[in-house]
């Protein structure tokens, strides 16, 4: 059971490292409540965090949480709190509840500081599950548990992976000597615009109208011209201002 948990924790941490750029030492925000729990259950908090997160950790405590410990006047709890780096939450003059304090610093730019939050406060964990990429840790019956990734975290991972896949596909095309998707679609559009059939048809209509003005009859009215008439047309046009290369090629053939 323990091995199974270690494996799933490893997988989870890999996700946070790969998708959300978490790095060791992991910064863990602990609240006052978890410190009192650790003291009561004689749990070595720092070591338990390292075991659970399978790497180096940097436990941190906010000014507000430290204030709660000072008010509680439990020496052991205060000593434990002082072992951890103080996180300046800037609520010093107007201390906030652990819920408000920790959710504020974690929500800051979608957990830009890559905090892992260690709290037994159920409503705080529930609140923080709404932010993608916030690992949550709590203690249950003396055992430290890393929560499974929240739906918000999994959705964000899906989005990022899809974005990445799009880029990779583009890179693959370039690497294989192909052209990027955007160029291909442009090419398709160009080809559509320059359909040789439609161009030829247009030319015939133009030619016909030119010939009509010169008093000549053309074809059978269905776009079919006799070879004879075409020759006439070309000999007439030969050496004139007509500079369409297509016409010169045809003239060469018929003359
Ligand atoms: Zn605070």
pLDDT in tens, 69-112: 999 999 999 999 999 999 999 998 899 999 999 999 999 999 99
119 alpha carbon to ligand 1 midpoint, in Å?
A: 15
Domain-located, residue 184: no
34 alpha carbon to ligand 1 midpoint, in Å?
A: 16
88 alpha carbon to ligand 1 midpoint, in Å?
A: 7
Q: Identify whether residues 202 and 250 lie together within a single domain.
A: yes
51 alpha carbon to ligand 1 midpoint, in Å?
A: 27
Cα(231)–Cα(136) distance, rounded to whole angstroms?
Answer: 86
Q: Identify whether residues 113 and 199 lie together within a single domain.
A: no
pLDDT digits (tens, 9 = 90+) for 155-203: 999 998 888 887 666 666 666 665 555 554 454 444 445 555 555 554 4
Last residue of a domain, one of 157, 184, 210: 157
Range of the domain at 213: 195-254
157 alpha carbon to ligand 1 midpoint, in Å?
A: 29
Q: Identify whether residues 130 and 16 lie together within a single domain.
A: yes
Q: Identify whether residues 131 and 229 lie together within a single domain.
A: no
Cα(106)–Cα(131) distance, rounded to whole angstroms?
Answer: 9
Does the pTM exceed 0.75?
Answer: no
Split at pLDDT 50, 70, 90, the class of 136 is very high
For the chain, the domain total comes to 2
Quote the radius of gyration of the chain (alpha carbons, Å): 38
192 alpha carbon to ligand 1 midpoint, in Å?
A: 63
Last residue of a domain, one of 131, 157, 183: 157
Domain-located, residue 183: no
Higher pLDDT among residues 142 and 58, named by residue: 58
Q: Identify whether residues 129 and 27 lie together within a single domain.
A: yes
Q: Identify whether residues 11 and 83 lie together within a single domain.
A: yes
Q: Identify whether residues 101 and 14 lie together within a single domain.
A: yes
Vertex 167 angle, CA 161 and 171, to 5°: 135
Domain-located, residue 208: yes
105 alpha carbon to ligand 1 midpoint, in Å?
A: 8
- Which two structure tokens, joined as six digits, stand for 204? 């015939």
Q: Of all residues in the chain, what percent carry a pLDDT higher than 90?
A: 58
Cα(30)–Cα(45) distance, rounded to whole angstroms?
Answer: 9
Domain-located, residue 85: yes
Q: Identify whether residues 107 and 204 lie together within a single domain.
A: no
Give yes or no for a contact between 128 and 98, defined as CB atoms under 8 angstroms apart.
no
Give yes or no for a contact between 219 and 208, defined as CB atoms under 8 angstroms apart.
yes
Q: Identify whether residues 121 and 217 lie together within a single domain.
A: no
93 alpha carbon to ligand 1 midpoint, in Å?
A: 10
């Amino acid at each position: 059971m323990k091995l199974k948990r270690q494996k799933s924790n490893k997988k989870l941490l890999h996700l946070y490292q790969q998708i959300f750029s978490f790095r060791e030492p992991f910064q863990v925000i602990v609240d006052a409540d978890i410190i009192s729990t650790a003291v009561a259950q004689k749990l070595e908090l720092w070591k338990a965090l390292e075991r659970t997160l399978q790497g180096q950790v940097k436990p941190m405590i906010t000014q507000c949480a430290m204030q709660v410990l000072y008010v509680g006047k439990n020496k052991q709890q205060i000593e434990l709190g002082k072992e951890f780096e103080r996180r300046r939450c800037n609520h010093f003059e107007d201390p906030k509840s652990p819920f408000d304090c920790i959710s504020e610093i974690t929500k800051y730019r979608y957990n830009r500081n890559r905090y892992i939050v260690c709290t037994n406060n159920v409503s705080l964990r529930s609140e923080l599950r709404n932010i993608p990429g916030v690992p949550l840790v709590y203690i249950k019956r003396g055992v430290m548990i890393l929560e499974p990734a929240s739906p918000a975290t999994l959705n964000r991972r899906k989005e990022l992976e899809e974005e990445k896949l799009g880029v990779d596909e583009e890179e693959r095309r370039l690497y294989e000597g192909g052209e990027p998707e955007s160029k291909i679609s442009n090419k398709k559009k160009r080809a559509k615009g320059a359909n040789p059939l439609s161009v030829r048809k247009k030319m015939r209509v133009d030619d016909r109208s030119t010939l009509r003005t010169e008093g000549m009859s053309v074809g059978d009215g269905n776009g079919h011209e006799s070879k004879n008439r075409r020759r006439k047309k070309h000999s007439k046009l030969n050496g004139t201002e007509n500079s369409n290369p297509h016409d010169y090629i045809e003239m060469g053939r018929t003359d």
